Amino acid sequence: MSIGLKIEDLEKSLETKRIGRRIIYEEVLDSTNSYALSLGEKGLEEGTCIICDHQRAGRGRRGRSWFSPKGKNIYMSLILRPEIPLESLSAITFLSSLSVYYLLKESLSLPAALKWPNDVLVRAKKISGSLIELPKGLGRPDFLVVGIGLNVNMREEDLPDELKDKATSLRIEKGVDFERLGLIKEILEKFERYYFLLLSEGPLEIIRIWEKEAEILGKRIRVRDDERVIEGKCLGLNKMGAIVLDLGGRLEIINAGDVEVDAPRT
Ligand code: BTN
């Protein structure tokens, strides 16, 4: 079954006003984010959704690659043109993760969890990630792209050895295959709901929902970045989505890194 054949059905059934109103499907791309960036430069409208069946060079956060085998998973990117301050943009990562998280938790009854800043996990293994990218250049960009990867029909044996302990998929968790377009429809509809909430209420509204669902407040957290490891109590996220840590009276703002929640004391 080619994912491409039914894109028209998705367009017809989609109950959104803006997000996914235009869908562009390609069988193979280097990365849906790269393609979306080039289409954004050409002026394609807000909400345009790029989907592909296989990425040759899928990108993850912090320069990592995103494993993107053919015909198995969801690889999609949206072009957005929000009129919000640059400092609010990180809320888009959180609302993107929330859209996938609620799909897994509410529609598929999976024990989904959120991990800062952009991961969705099931049973402590990563199932989805979102990646915001801005076009290169000076000044305020007039668009951005947000890419979503969701592992859907990969089996244990499809995973490379280095991911076997770290990644999972809907197929691995549920034991059945899923129809990807139905999942994309739900993600786009949920995404629009939270995107409109961001536009009307601002980033803190999204960040508060994420904080609550991630159950991160008051937890002991260890953050690793390229240079150091910091541990402290999480006081929450600020409006830019950075983690505010209490290091025993001194506050530290964490903008990037890999977090471990409920880190054992060392
Ligand atoms: C991460 O968790 O590190 C982010 C992963 C984002 C992966 C998606 S797949 C679709 C889109 N295209 C890319 O190259 N990356 C994102």
DSSP 46: T
Ligand 1: atom nearest CA of 119 is 2
User: Over the range 18-47, which residues count as b (16 or more CB within 10 Å of their CB) and which as e?
Assistant: bbbbbbbbeeebebbbbbbbebbeeebebb
Both tokens of residue 156?
């244990």
CA dihedral 26, 129, 229, 219 (to 10 degrees): 170
pTM given for the model: 0.94
Give residue 248's Cα distance to chain centre: 32
Residue 128 CB less than 6 A away from ligand 1 = no
Say which residues have a Cβ less than 8 Å from residue 51's Cβ, sequence separation at least 6: 3, 7, 23, 24, 25, 26, 32, 74, 75, 76, 184
> Rounded to the nearest whole angstrom, what is the distance from the C-alpha of residue 103 to the centroid of ligand 1?
18
Minimal CA–CA distance to 73: which of 187, 189, 184?
184
Q: Note down pLDDT in tens along the chain; length 266 residues.
A: 345 448 888 989 999 999 999 999 999 999 999 999 999 999 999 999 999 999 999 999 989 999 999 999 999 999 999 999 988 999 999 999 999 999 999 999 999 999 999 999 999 999 999 999 999 987 889 999 999 999 999 999 999 999 999 999 999 999 999 999 999 999 999 999 999 999 999 999 999 999 999 999 999 999 988 788 999 999 999 999 999 999 999 999 999 888 988 755 54
Ligand 1: atom nearest CA of 32 is 12
Minimal CA–CA distance to 181: which of 146, 139, 217, 150?
150
Ligand 1: atom nearest CA of 75 is 10
Provide φ and ψ at 111, rounded to 5°: -80, 70
Q: Using omega within 30 degrees of 0 as the cis cutoff, is the peptide bond preceding 117 cis?
A: yes
